Amino acid sequence: MSLRPIRSPRPTAAAGVTAHHAGVLDAVVVGAHGGAGTSTLAALLPAAWDMDPIKPAPGRPLLCANGRPIVLAVRNTAAAAKHATAAITALRAWNQHVAALAIVSDGGPETRDATARFALLAPRVGGVVRVPYVRALRLVDDPRQVVLPGKAKQAINELRSLLGAPPVSR
């Protein structure tokens, strides 16, 4: 899997300016499965790299982040936790460290089974952040247009902290 720039428009940095220019983080957001909220998280952080979900393939690395911090996005279900376990195992096999596991709510409660599986993953990543469901994000084309409620804003800032970035105030 190769890195591709985030799909939504971003300010371009002049030569010699780091990816922190205009608040864009030089970080990789990748999904443990399809529909994990990867593009939404990449837009809200904002991160420079928005990746397709990890799909294991024999004999080749799933992702080479070139030292960039990785945020692994996953929904809050037991099935999604299984995908996260497989993704983290595969990434670690290729010497890639997950800086943050972002557990994105789909609006329903997290089951005990999912919570237990995520707890087992916590020591294998830099940090675990639960991102609450925000209905307004489903109603817009650009997640950056949404004023986040307090808990969602806090979750985004926790992710930014795990990536070594300052908080945002929106």
Pairwise CA distance, residues 43 & 51, whole Å? 12
Contact 113, 80 (CB under 8 A): no
Q: What is the pLDDT of residue 59?
A: 63
Pairwise CA distance, residues 86 & 90, whole Å? 6
Q: Where are the domains of the chain?
A: 22-54+63-162
Angstrom distances, CA of residue 98 to CA of 8, 68, 83, 139, 143: 23, 10, 14, 30, 24
CATH class of 22-54+63-162: alpha beta
Tens of pLDDT, residue by residue over 114-163, are 999 999 999 999 999 999 999 999 999 999 999 999 999 999 999 999 99
Q: What is the pLDDT of residue 9?
A: 25
The pLDDT tens digits along the chain (170 residues) read: 444 443 332 332 322 334 444 578 999 999 999 999 999 999 999 999 998 888 766 666 668 888 899 999 999 999 999 999 999 998 998 889 999 999 999 999 999 999 999 999 999 999 999 999 999 999 999 999 999 999 999 999 999 999 999 988 76
DSSP reduced 3-state for 3: coil
Q: What is the pLDDT of residue 168?
A: 83
**Could you give the count of Cα atoms lying within 13 Å of 126 in the half-sphere of its Cβ?**
17
Largest CA distance in the chain: 49
